[in-house]
Amino acid sequence: MHGRIGRKSSRQSPGLKVALGNTILRARDGRKIPIDDSAAPIKDEKENVTGAVLVFNDIIERKQAEWAVRNSEERFRSIFDQAFNLMWLLQPDGTQNISKFWWRTCSAPTARVA
């Protein structure tokens, strides 16, 4: 029996490769390892499914980078929002942000002196 592994042919229906989603594998030592995984069928000459190819990719470095970016953004937002000094941020798309403390100070109603 001759199967096809990982080759597309004109007879292969589109979309047969299936991404199974983010999965967590548990190592023997208890560590949790995030992976991306996908599956594709192996077909014989008559297009009968005779097996499957499973592909696993370790994505721990990508997940650690995502965590680091998220943590950095949270720290920046916390510092930005609690700053007593004027902090003004202009984004490339034209969006402007001003620190919450400064915004509350500037937008508070002023008292009139009689």
pLDDT digit string (tens) for 12-57?
A: 454 466 666 678 888 899 988 898 888 889 999 998 999 999 888 8
Residue range of the domain that includes 86: 63-107
Does a structural domain hold residue 100? yes
The better pLDDT of the pair 79, 3 is held by 79
Q: How many residues in the chain?
A: 114
Indicate if 31 and 53 belong to the same structural domain: yes
Same domain, 54 and 82: no
Number of domains within the chain: 2
Does the pLDDT of residue 102 top 60, yes or no? yes
In this structure, the answer to whether residues 71 and 102 fall within a common structural domain is yes
**Domain contains 91:** yes
Task: Please indicate, yes or no, if residue 28 is contained in any of the structural domains.
Answer: yes
| Residue 33 covered by a domain | yes
- The confidence band for 11, taking pLDDT boundaries of 50, 70 and 90, is very low
Q: Are residues 53 and 33 in the same domain?
A: yes
- Measured from the Cβ of residue 99, the count of other Cβ atoms closer than 10 Å reads 19
Q: Is the pLDDT of residue 2 over 70?
A: no
- Residue 7 covered by a domain: no
For residues 50 and 74, membership in a common domain is answered with no
76 and 54 in a common domain: no
Please check whether residues 42 and 70 belong to one and the same domain: no
pLDDT interval class at 87 (50, 70, 90): confident
